[in-house]
Amino acid sequence: MQYKDFTNVQVMDHPLIKHKISLLRNVNTGTYEFRQLVEEIATLEGYEALRDLPLKDVEIQTPLEKCMTPMIDGKKLAIVPILRAGLGMVPGVQALAPLAKVGHIGLYRDPETHEPHDYYCKLPDPIDQRLIVVVDPMLATGGSAVDAINSIKAHGGKHIKFMCIIAAPVGIERLAKAHPDIDIYVGNVDRELNENAYILPGLGDAGDRIFGTK
């Protein structure tokens, strides 16, 4: 379903996604299960995000006869996780598009200012003809996603989608306003940010929960 009057923002309404996000939130969900859930949600969201891939009829020989039948046409894919937590979503999208190239953007949020700092960027080259799916489970202030997409555009990326699992309203609005040309897919819109710019109710620190670092 569309988020408010942002025509480029879709919020997932599938019960399987809702159920799995509830499991993710639970403080008692351990690292192994957390990682599996992130992957599964990424597959389910990816299914929605790739719904508009172009098709072209091609001729196939079945065991009985030749027929014209649709196959995905045109744009090749790139999956671009925002490090670290975005890495957890990559296998879920690869399950749908196993031949997609994978780029990486390294960003961390300054704990005081909450502003993103970039430390790494390696993208498939050339990138301009690819459909780029940027993944990060958390969209909080929106600073990291806006910066990541600025970098991708600076490298020539043109066709960009962004997928997250949980978002704060302020982050969605910042990203949608900064990059009105991209499609944004959100698992759930949470209530607000706390004083440390963590999402409430949220799920805590996604990177730490995926990699077991806290």
109 is catalytic: yes
Tallying the residues shown for the chain, one arrives at: 214
For residue 43, with 0-12 CB atoms within 10 Å meaning exposed, 13-18 middle and 19 or more buried, which class applies?
Answer: middle
* CA-atom Rg of the chain in angstroms: 18
C-beta of 53 vs 153, nearer to ligand PRP: 153
Tell me how far CA of residue 166 lies from CA of 32, 67, 190, in angstroms: 19, 43, 7
Does 187 bind ligand PRP (CB under 6 A)? Our answer is no
Per-residue mark of binding to ligand URA, 75-114 (x: CB under 6 A): ----------x-----------------------------
x/- track of binding to ligand PRP for residues 60-89 (CB under 6 A): ----------------------xxxx----
Query: Which position among 108, 118, 151, 204 is part of the footprint of ligand PRP (CB under 6 A)?
Result: 108
Question: Residue 97 is which amino acid?
Answer: A
Q: Is 206 in the site for ligand URA (CB under 6 A)?
A: yes
Q: Using the structure block, give the residue that is written with the tokens 């993944």.
A: 135
Active site residue 208: yes
Question: At a CB cut-off of 8 Å and minimum separation 6, what does 24 contact?
Answer: 34, 37, 38, 41, 165, 203
Q: List the catalytic residue out of 57, 113, 128, 191.
A: 113
For ligand URA, the binding residues (CB under 6 A) are 85, 138, 140, 198-199, 202, 205-207
Point out the residues that are catalytic. 109, 113, 205, 208
